[in-house]
Amino acid sequence: MGWHYRKSIKVGPFRINLSRRGVGHSFGNRRFRVTTGPDGRRHVSVHLPGGFHIGKTLGSRRHHRHY
């Protein structure tokens, strides 16, 4: 059984997301939001009237080298 942790702190239009994997952040409002996750990927989402949602992930994961 694994463990999970997630905490979100809102500061104006910014949101700082803390999780077991690291720190991410997002910016936007209810209709349009850009999120950067702990691994460096960006996700752009648009919420349209009527319950429609469009999202796109930009870029690929950053690979970390362990020495």
pLDDT score recorded for residue 2: 78
**65 pLDDT higher than 70:** no
Rg (alpha carbons) of the chain, rounded to whole number: 14
Which residue type occupies 21?
A: R
Query: Is 62 strand, coil or helix?
Result: coil
For residues 57 and 67, what is the distance between their CA atoms, to the nearest angstrom? 29
The domain ranges of the chain are 6-58
For 5-58, what is each residue's pLDDT tens digit? 889 999 988 999 999 889 999 999 889 999 999 888 999 999 999 999 999 998
Residues 28, 13: contact at Cβ < 8 Å?
Answer: yes
